[in-house]
A = this chain, B = another copy of it.
Amino acid sequence: METLRERKKRRTREALVRAALELFTTQGYERTTVDEIAEAVDVSQRTFFRYFAGKEDAAFAVQEMTEAHFVAAVRARPPHEPPMEALRQAVLEGWDDIRETVESVVPVELYLRMYRMIESTPALLAAHLRRSAATEQTIAGLLAEREGVDVDADPRPRLAVAVFAGVIRVTERQWSTGDDFSLAAIRGLTAAYLDQVGPALTGNWRAA
């Protein structure tokens, strides 16, 4: 069972995340200082840095949970599914699950606002892309294992994941700049865009 000390720690951490996201999404990321976040939770700046490696870390605390969920979702896919189909299903079916997990820490609405803030803040976008690249590595490893090929010898796992991730990026961007921020919207976009990959690669587009 959870000791008092651990409980306090978890509370402090979650309070810091909530305060950080709230401040980031209202004043902007750069204009929010670590001191402000610490003060909002009534701890010292030094303590903030004991919970997070940096300001950036706090900003991605929730994203980290969703990434872990996606990886788990891919891992849970039936082994007979072709690679791209497994990725597709994992991302489409994962959202409801993710929603619940997120809600246990911060309001989903705050999570969505933060998502947009990441997309529109260069420093955060850069960090997001780097983190995505790391996740891609993990997924590539999973696919290789599923299909029984060697990740380093066979380029197909990494290529498939890179292509998939590229589509997801376009989807994210479109969703975050649109005006419908519902989960249904991003699911619809994801499915539609994945279906458009084939047409986008073949021939020229004037014929259609």
Contacts and interface: CB of A to CB of B under 8 A. Distances in A.
Nearest to A166: B162
Contact of A159 (B149, B156, B196): B196
A197 to B, nearest CB: 6
Interface residues of A, number: 41
A106 to B, nearest CB: 24
Contact of A166 (B166, B174, B200, B203): B166
Interface in A154-183: 154-160, 162-163, 165-167, 169-170, 173-174
Given A197-B163, A201-B160, A201-B197, A155 B129 contact: no
Nearest to A84: B201
A43 interface: no
A162 B170 contact: yes
Contact of A165 (B154, B166, B202, B205): B166
Given A163-B163, A163-B166, A156 B83 contact: no
Interface stretch (A19-27, A61-69, A90-98, A119-127): A119-127
Interface in A180-208: 192-193, 196-197, 199-206
